[in-house]
Amino acid sequence: MQKVINHLVQLQELTLARAEQETTMPGGQLSQLDTAIQTLVDDLPVDIQSSFSRMLKKSPLAIVPVANKNCSACGMSLPASLIQTVRSAERLQTCPNCGRLLYFTTIAPRRIVAAGSGRRRNDPPKVGIERFSAPDLMIARLESTDRDGAIAELCHLMEEKQFVDNGQLLCEEALKREAIVSTAVDQGLAFPHVRGVEGGGLTLACGISEKGIKFGGPSRTLTRIIFFIVIPTAASAFYLKLLSGLTEAFRKEDARVKILAAETPDALWKTLVKTTKSAVG
């Protein structure tokens, strides 16, 4: 049954990758992804095919990991006996609350609360991009000249600033995602990310490449603006809204010019907040 579970997780990742492509580059590589998705569907047992397809129509997440003894999608605390059965992977198990299929993983990177990041009583509520990022997560001039190095820089920054517990693992998972289909889009943008990060909320780091990086994808344009995002399972659906907002904001040339001109992390942060104010709600 573990083979079937791995198959379902891979199928879900492809389905999510297709939704991302449709959000950022309609028509981009959709036909190739459709073919790959159909191939995986056809390889499933017929009964699992139909039930899994029905679940995906209701939610972008049909199979989710157990995280800290909870269903990572709805947050329900799971009985120890159920967790043990999920761990054994002898048969498919579902969450008693949300009905999603469950699987067990021991390698997911974990988001942690950054020191001093808590909001004090009198602080104004955070809005827009400020809900998902911070000045500490800006790199105005990436040192790396290739895709893997740039992603590693941003992952290291997240660990250094205590937003995640394992930057190396985060980088490995991000590169696995890039192997499915590149997250680079037109206008020199890229959105590498890791889904299924345990704990906390959706978090974004931003890095700028002065000369541009060959990031992959259908566009020949060098990537200069990189948004790296860690996504808890429960925030997977909202991530598409954030992706859409960022894409909308930076399709405008003047927005790209302004953010590329930022020479310090503080200037990059202020430009990002201002530029995305109307697009990221």
Q: What is the pLDDT of residues 185-232, one digit of tens each?
A: 888 999 999 987 776 678 999 999 999 999 986 667 899 999 999 988
Q: What is the residue range of 248's domain?
A: 128-275
Is 110 inside any structural domain? no
Does residue 113 carry a pLDDT above 70? no
6 and 87 share one domain: yes
247 and 154 share one domain: yes
Instruction: Give the β-pairing of 184-185 and 223-231.
Output: unpaired
73 and 150 share one domain: no
Cα-to-chain-centroid distance, residue 216: 18
Tell me the pLDDT tens digit for each residue of 224-233: 999 999 988 8
pLDDT of residue 24: 84
Is 281 inside any structural domain? no
Is 164 inside any structural domain? yes
CATH label of the domain that carries residue 90: 1.10.287.1490
Does residue 121 carry a pLDDT above 70? no
CATH label of the domain that carries residue 241: 3.40.930.10
Instruction: Calculate the alpha carbon distances from 145 to 142, 148, 263, 266 in Å.
Output: 8, 9, 17, 22
Is 114 inside any structural domain? no
160 and 230 share one domain: yes
Tell me the pLDDT tens digit for each residue of 41-89: 999 988 898 889 888 888 888 999 998 889 988 989 999 999 999 999 9
Tell me the pLDDT tens digit for each residue of 122-152: 555 678 899 889 999 999 999 999 999 999 9
pTM of the model: 0.85
Domain count within the chain: 2
pLDDT of residue 117: 47
d(CA 276, CA 245): 8
Is 47 inside any structural domain? yes
Is 19 inside any structural domain? yes
